[in-house]
């Protein structure tokens, strides 16, 4: 597979996976705010808009937010919880059987 075809496939898969969550939410969102690398991916934004109507889909920057900083902060938050052995996933949010941590910290 050519790299461009692989990238297109992954982008379509990601947009479809995001759209599949909608029926599982307690309320259908009226808007979606995209941060991280996807916020700079015009194809991803288009695919999300096609799959999530009538909701709006906007990159975080459109609201004056720093999309890359939001993603970095989210991963930092998860890392801090992981370092303290606190759960990252709960039965009511992801369906895991018990609150679960992110694994173990590998040390050299």
- Residue 37, in any domain of the structure: yes
Q: Structural domain of residue 56, as residue ranges?
A: 28-84
Cα 93 to Cα 3, 17, 96, 99: the distances in Å are 34, 16, 8, 10
Distance CA 22, CA 53 (A): 11
Q: Evaluate whether residue 103 is within a structural domain.
A: no
- So what's the pLDDT on residue 86? 94
| Per-chain mean pLDDT for the chain | 93
Q: Is the dihedral of CA 10, 15, 19, 21 positive or negative?
A: positive
Q: With respect to residue 107, please indicate whether it lies within any of the assigned structural domains.
A: no
Domain tally, the chain: 1
Confidence category of residue 53, pLDDT binned at 50, 70, 90: very high
Give the mean pLDDT of 35-63. Answer: 96
Residue 77 resides in a domain: yes
Residue 18 domain flag: no
């Amino acid at each position: 597979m050519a790299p461009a075809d692989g990238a297109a496939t992954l982008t379509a898969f990601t947009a479809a996976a995001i759209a599949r969550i909608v029926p599982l939410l307690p309320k259908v969102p009226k808007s979606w705010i995209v941060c991280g690398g996807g916020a700079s991916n015009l194809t991803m934004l288009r695919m999300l808009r096609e799959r999530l109507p009538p909701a709006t889909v906007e990159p975080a920057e459109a609201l004056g937010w720093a999309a890359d900083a939001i993603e970095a902060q989210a991963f930092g938050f998860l890392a801090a919880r992981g370092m303290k052995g606190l759960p990252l996933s709960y039965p009511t949010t992801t369906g895991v059987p018990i609150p679960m941590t992110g694994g173990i910290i590998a040390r050299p």
